[in-house]
Amino acid sequence: MNVESGKKTKMTKGCLIVHGLTASPATVAPLADALLKEGYRVATPLLAGHNGTLDDVGHSTWQQWYETVRVAYRELRRNVDVVYYAGLSLGALLGIKLAADEGWGVRAFALLSTPLTLSRWNNFLIPLARFTPLHHLIASTPKNWKHSVGDPEGLRMYQNSSFARFPSRAAFQLAELQGIVRRELPRVKNPLLLVHATQDRVSPYRNVALVQKLAGSETVDVTTLTHSQHVITLDAEKDAVAKAVIQFFKRH
């Protein structure tokens, strides 16, 4: 896990930032850098299974991903007075799970490109592959880079810091976690910030309304992006993402 200190003065605030499936902490680096400049202590763990081969990712489970988050959370909490959380895609789902389990141990959550549901095609394809003999034939599928990041520079960064394919087993684990998070969202009472792009074709924008409907939080703020794809921490509006997250955390 990467833990960095921002300013040299004593830190009292920390933020746990978690990346998405088949990616790495480098994909959330612009947000981490912005929070460091604001004086936060930042932890950016690498999820279980993501430090080796694509096969390693495919054989990791959502429970192992979540344990990475829990360990990082406990370590960060020992070093700061107040903990915040920001998660991208899978990281957002893991954040909801953490909120349900830890409650007010985390002050507020920024959920970025939350995939409670996927595109209609993926919602059809994943169960088909998972519960039929197709799972023996489709070990992985290619990543659609155009649906990931629209900004050319951000896309190059994403290609250099993530796998080019999605293991089918990892997609099945994601689907299982989606179901658990949906059931546990009513238990979440923490302030939530939802940052989502209208052009997101991996995690459609309708996820915003779904989280708003299911969450038990009194505060659910929304920041809508119009010039980004799914990996909003690297896309054209990454500065707007960082600004929205920082302002939200300051209010809470």
CATH number at residue 111: 3.40.50.1820
Helices (H), 40-134: 54-58, 62-79, 90-102, 120-130
Is residue 59 scored above 60 in pLDDT?
Answer: yes
User: What is the value of pTM for the model shown?
Assistant: 0.92
Residue 86: which H helix or E strand, with range? strand 82-88
Query: What's the number of domains the chain is made of?
Result: 1
Q: Measured between alpha carbons, how far is 69 from 18 in angstroms, rounded to an integer?
A: 8
Residue 125 belongs to domain spanning: 2-251
Is residue 120 scored above 90 in pLDDT?
Answer: no
Number of residues in the chain: 252
pLDDT tens for 3-30 read 554 544 565 899 999 999 999 999 999 9
User: Dihedral angle at the C-alpha atoms of 132, 50, 38, 76, nearest 10 degrees?
Assistant: 100
